Structure 1
């Protein structure tokens, strides 16, 4: 391999706080073509920052950066054209994959990068198939990636980068949330890429991922501490000598020290069944397990097996379809006479929050206070302790995890690993009797991992029951008495042709998105012309026919918009208090209620309902990518007047994609506060309203983080203003569209003519 430098950094410095501290401080680094370079170091040492500089996603404060022969930054500052040129040959995979996903169909997301590189349609098809097969996600190509597990999302993000066929690939802990088989698959993909000349830059904490590295770069406090050839790289741990056995369903491999039957059971799950909304099959069916008091149990399984879902159900953050859960005598979920599962009462929920502590999979979603100390204090304060007791709990948690130096820092300014330690501290500060931890050491360095392991041993010695979700067998062997393995439900197998073409769309789903967009707007506006019962009946029948033609479950559709529906219906019903014509049928104090007022209020409420349902049907049958393409096409005549139609369309699409993400952010904060005893879940109506108001700032902070990561994701996937793009989804008007437009015209004519006929 020729010794051609592809990345050259000289005296690079980078600060997040205008020079008060330096994330990178005088970094000198040269990476040669075809090398595999691994970046290691403690949490907060600057690895992620350095990876972003190498990928051309951020510019330093000073120094020189040369990427693929383009001088992107020097003494005169950043050179935007050089950065854009370099990014065409550099791919990046982020630490948090959910921020890198831009649309709601897996194959469309993988296609986004090649579209921005103006790859021909047939070439995009080839790249989608090859990339998804490389990461084992070919059976999920028509799935919604925003609803996949964290590990599955990571594989989709990697596939999106592979599809761009970059000369340099920068990956920031890409296997942190992957199961062992998926990790091995990704490492094999990287081996193949390097064999074909791709330069690999890998940020990792896994010693076994350093085996094939040409060099291991170790960072300490923003400086390169070791840039050796890898001769003295850390050796991966030896395989465990412990024996284990696997059984169908939950597999229990364990040691004789702990017997869940001999010890009193503290967690009992019986015949648990759970199915995600709109899923074809259950995540698990009739699942049963028992955990004894004081046990340390590991929960393992492939990505998507339902480990996080089970943990959330144990914490009453999700409700199973059927089955029962009892935790320390608290009925978390009970089977009713109909076989359905009934959630726990408010009093039982309060008892559960005192008993169970939950460390979530994404620690950045579990933090919401201004400082680390305040965040850790949130749980103890909800236990109505005195301020001196709260301070004692906070100090104890900080000491246990060796993070006293982070006390006054903002949790949002910390590295991912540091955030995870703070999230753990916030949970253990409540002194729970049961601790559930979802991948607690993912993204942690060796020292931090050792701290968490020591914490678990200390808590176990104090009688705390622990359930740890993990993908690391070495970790499980070090801290767990036994293992419960969830078996993955096999995905539905599809033929090669079916995988290429995806699921057969419904009549509405298969319409050209431009036709759908214009038709939906026309139908929604026409609802405001409804003035009679006959018109309302016609609108209801036609709306019902559209829902049927869209192949949607009407109850699920209504459930997805019930909050908006209730709000607008309520606004419509308010008209009953403002209409004075007609016969008075009742009085509400001095306000007369007339028959005309009731009729108009019902009419307005029904109008709003029709509009909301039609809009929801459109959004449920049209992906953000399709909306972008349709909007751009419809606005194209305005280009001659200088309008940036491509950018306008993309902003609209991404807004639609990330509005649900902000909803998820809000729910995550509510869940985090609920799991730590917050009144947002169990308080009085006044307390709950006040608590909901208090999460506005953390939600907006989350929105800013998502927007920042989104801008980096667009840069990483070579989206450029005004650049020529190709399209994976080709829009064309077919006979189906003509039939749909004709039906809508007939409906609109009938709607207008109906008052004269009746």
Structure 2
């Protein structure tokens, strides 16, 4: 059998009966073992769809894919005896790294794939460590995946797939968020991997990556329009030809006046939740009408700086001043788009600012046309069917539509084809020429060189600045205070990191199995206690247990108060709608409302049940890592293995439940950030004080987008498990 054969492959995304998006049309080609194939094409040309079908993650609608490197989902035989597997047919690193992460920590995520190949645990760890070392991530092996930057997440995904030792390595824009230094190291490794007989299929927009290939296929509107070598392609096609041009400005940045400073940052300090300090005594001044590029390695603080400047994060100390509140187009464009149709999503911000009717439609049209997603072509397109690059452009359109004075774009050209990337840089230059001020982050040196000023960040410090702008006098600047819901955003983001807190308490030192036994003890005894007295004793012990775990009492009390109103409503419902029985002692009555000893006991039972479960569960998640949760479950279910009952699935489901809740908190935080930025007023308008009613109004628009993203994340998580061969062997 050949290595890979693709014959007459076609695929259509059916948005509705009237509007269908043809992704692939009659694609045919073969791939030999040892080839290095690069697939290029504009955004929306069908590249990712092709990769997913070849990887076995998406079923072809017509045509066929065959060969040794194609994963056939029904070809392997599952037996009771698990045979170790040394390699897999293929492994795919997807475009959105965040959606491919599964485990809580770096080392657990990298070793998850090998664990599904029935390999010994030490071999799984060895493979994971080797892959992490290659990606320069071994020193972060115990770091929480939720705290990684976009570039670090992408490197971890590559490590997780390399640990599988795939016969065919499929890369879908896998290096788009990686800094140039690490990109070069990874590309050199891929070259070495190819020289040693490895086969590669890489989807990329990067000229350097494409030049390393032995073969290049170019897609256009779902069809192959070129199949040859990179030198041949460069002679006949202009795909990589667009170049960045520096904006012409009439005055030097060093020619300062007292009124040209539009952003001034003074002695900023910030520390990540549950992490080390990032910014300390950080100062920066930005001139009006300038285009500033910020570059730096993954995790250097670029995204965090943008969120601090816009007021989405609360700094530890220091001040930020600006002429108006900067608006931010976030890095994670998939989660910042929360409407069903493209035009509706772009219209969200202007609607919040009061636009309607013809003015609203014109603002949306102008923004979409400017961002490269023409209104006439994309207005009625469903956002879920857009490609990664199209989503990126749409998220930019949603920010441009706000007509702000200061724009922050976080990796605005990631996943864009060369022509679109050049157009995006030109778009930002044009904004500056019209009097706007733009700051953007990038990993591409050529993009930074097209800016008026380039700043290099390293671990929260400016190590290079092409234009030394001193903190000169500035007038009419307002203090950028955090949004009124910044604390809510921080709380959601903190929840996304997980509930575990590193400590040295007696409970922390207990074995995973012992923690489960104690948790089960409290659950069973709390729910089965035959009397109020015994239940009170058990609840008292659960409070002692949570104190021994060093769980914050204030937080415990706050969590208890959240549910207490619902318990009260349940109690009132009993008083109003449950008549007393004949043998009950009535303490007081008023019309149809009666208070009896049984109802009081039932109310106490409900309150104590909740208190006991809350204390025991809080102590458990506060002292247990994801490894503790899975290891404890494995130890708890070990007796069933002697009966040849597979317990791995139960352990994984338990782990996913504890992992999925933080994922939803992360999604909620990202959506809330996007909605906040796109519905904000000016700095001259005082921030309204947060109240329960205002929080309810604030969170209400979050529910529907979060529900949709929950379904999408569940589907993506299932695909991520499939990509790591969970349950395959």
Task: Determine if the TM-score, normalized by the shorter chain, exceeds 0.5.
Answer: yes
Tell whether the 8 Å contact from 2:56 to 2:70 is kept in structure 1 after alignment: no
The 8 Å contact of residues 503 and 623 in structure 2, kept in 1 or not, is answered as no
Among residues 619, 633, 646, which one is paired with 1:631 in the alignment? 633
Whether 2:258 is the aligned partner of 1:286: answer no
- Residue in structure 1 matching 2:661, options 659, 662, 671: 659
1:517 aligns with 2:512: no
Quote the Cα distance in structure 1 between the aligned partners of 2:436 and 2:75: 55
SS class of match (1:370): coil
Deviation at 1:624, TM superposition (A): 3.8
Aligned mates of 1:261, 1:594 — CA distance in 2 = 79
Q: Is the 8 A contact 2:131 2:162 kept in 1?
A: yes
SS in 2 for 1:23: strand
Is this contact kept in 2: 1:205–1:443, CA < 8 A?
Answer: yes
**Equivalent in the alignment of 1:540:** 543
1:127-152, CA deviations, whole angstroms, 9 ceiling, x for partnerless residues?
Answer: 12211110000110011112111111
CA contact (8 A) 2:9 2:27 kept: yes
The superposition leaves residues 202-235 of structure 1 with CA deviations (integer Å, 9 ceiling, x where unpaired) of 1111111112111111111111111112223449
Which of 3, 7, 25 pairs up with 2:4? 7
Deviation at 1:323, TM superposition (A): 1.4
Q: Cα offset for 1:639? A: 7.7
C-alpha distance in 1 between matches for 2:516 and 2:537: 26
Distance 1:397 1:583, change over 3 A: same
Q: Distance in 1 between matches of 2:599 and 2:291?
A: 64
Matched residue, 2:562 = 567
**Aligned runs of 1:112-151 on 2, under 5 Å?**
112-151=112-151
Structure 2: tracts of 5 or more residues without a match = 80-84, 462-501, 682-686
Which moved further from structure 2: 124-133 or 108-117?
Answer: 124-133
Answer whether contact 2:70 2:89 (CA < 8 A) is retained: no
Aligned to 1:430: 402
Does the 8 Å contact 1:152/1:304 carry over to 2?
yes
Q: Does structure 1 retain, via aligned residues, the 8 Å contact 2:630–2:655?
A: yes
After superposition, residues 248-397 of structure 1 pair within 5 angstroms as 256-257=252-253, 264-279=260-275, 281-328=276-323, 352=325, 356-397=326-367
Following superposition, the deviation at residue 169 of structure 1 comes to 0.7
Q: For the Cα contact (< 8 Å) 1:582–1:594, is it kept in 2? A: yes
Q: Is residue 620 of structure 2 the alignment partner of residue 618 of structure 1?
A: yes
Matched residues in 2 for 1:590 and 1:165: separation?
72
Gaps in structure 1 of 5+ consecutive residues = 73-77, 243-254, 331-351, 491-502, 549-553, 724-758
Separation in 2 of the partners of 1:387 and 1:634?
Answer: 62
CA RMSD of aligned residues (A): 3.9
Q: Does 1:193 align with 2:165?
A: no
CA distance in 2, matches of 1:219, 1:506: 59
Structure 2 equivalent of residue 400 of structure 1 = 370
Closer, same or farther: CA 419–265 of 1 in aligned 2, 3 Å:
same
- Alpha carbons 1:105, 1:144 under 8 Å: kept: yes
Residue of 437, 445, 469 corresponding to 1:473: 445
The CA deviation at 1:488 is 1.8
Q: Residue 496 of structure 2 aligns with which residue?
A: none
Q: CA deviation at 1:691?
A: 5.7
| Residues 542 and 515 (structure 1), Cα distance of their counterparts in 2 relative to 1, 3 Å cut | closer
Matches of 2:261 and 2:334 in 1, distance apart?
A: 33
Instruction: For residue 576 of structure 1, report the CA deviation from its aligned partner.
Output: 8.3
> Does the Cα contact within 8 Å between 2:242 and 2:418 map onto a contact in 1?
no
CA distance in 2: counterparts of 1:97 and 1:69, whole angstroms:
23
Query: Which sits farther off after the overlay, 59-68 or 139-148?
Result: 59-68
* Cα distance in 1 between the residues matched to 2:503 and 2:431: 53
When structure 1 is superposed on structure 2, of 616-625 and 631-640 the one drifting more is 631-640
CA distance in 2, matches of 1:592, 1:264: 72
**CA shift for structure 1 position 648:** 3.5
Q: Distance in 2 between matches of 1:649 and 1:536?
A: 28
Moved more, 221-230 or 261-270: 261-270
Contact 2:13 2:23 in 1 (8 A): yes
SS of structure 1 residue aligned to 2:327: strand
Q: TM-score, normalised by structure 1?
A: 0.77
User: Residue 31 of structure 1 corresponds to which residue in structure 2?
Assistant: 31
For 2:13, what is the secondary structure of its paired residue?
coil
- Corresponding residue for 1:59? 59
* Distance verdict in 2 for CA 1:384–1:563, change over 3 Å: farther
1:261: Cα distance to partner?
6.3
Is 1:484 matched with 2:433? Answer: no
SS in 2 for 1:657: helix
User: What is aligned with 2:464?
Assistant: none
Number of matched residues?
A: 653
CA distance in 2, matches of 1:641, 1:655: 26
Return closer, same or farther for 1:376/1:263 CA change in 2, 3 Å cut-off.
same
SS at match of 1:39: strand
Q: Using the alignment, how far apart are the partners of 1:292 and 1:695 within structure 2?
A: 35
Helix, strand or coil at the partner of 1:16? strand
Whether contact under 8 Å (2:131, 2:159) holds in the other structure is yes
Q: Report the Cα distance in structure 1 between the residues aligned to 2:597 and 2:167, rounded to whole angstroms.
A: 73
1:597 and 1:264 mapped to 2: Cα distance?
70
Query: Which range is displaced more, 444-453 or 13-22?
Result: 13-22
CA distance in 2, matches of 1:637, 1:595: 45
SS state at 1:463 partner: coil
CA distance in 2, matches of 1:138, 1:154: 14
- Tell me if structure 2 keeps the 8 A contact 1:259–1:292: no
Listed as ranges, the matches of 1:550-629 within 5 Å are 554-555=551-552, 559=555, 564-571=559-566, 608-624=610-626, 626-629=628-631
Change (3 A) 1:558 1:140: farther
- 1:167 is paired with a residue whose SS is strand
Whole-Å Cα distance in 1 between the matches of residues 558 and 387 of structure 2?
A: 36
2:168 alignment partner in structure 1? 168
Moved more, 480-489 or 661-670: 480-489
CA spacing shift, 1:608–1:677, aligned 2, 3 Å: same
Q: 1:675 to 1:477 in 2, by over 3 A?
A: same
Query: Alignment partner of 2:31: what SS?
Result: strand
Q: Residue 601 of structure 1: CA displacement? A: 7.7
* Equivalent residues of 1:582, 1:597 under 8 A apart: no
Structure 1 residues 717-732: aligned runs within 5 Å: 717-720=724-727, 723=729
Task: Show the counterpart of 1:419.
Answer: 391
For 1:562 and 1:443, locate their aligned partners in 2 and report how far apart those are by CA, in whole Å.
46
* Alignment partner, residue 348 of structure 1: none
| In 2: Cα distance, 1:53 partner to 1:667 partner | 32
Q: Tell me the CA shift for residue 697 of structure 1.
A: 2.7
In 2, Cα distance between the equivalents of 1:599 and 1:274? 50
Q: So what's the TM-score if we normalise by structure 2?
A: 0.80
Look up the match of 1:710.
717
Aligned to 1:696: 703
Q: Is the 8 A contact 1:180 1:472 kept in 2?
A: yes
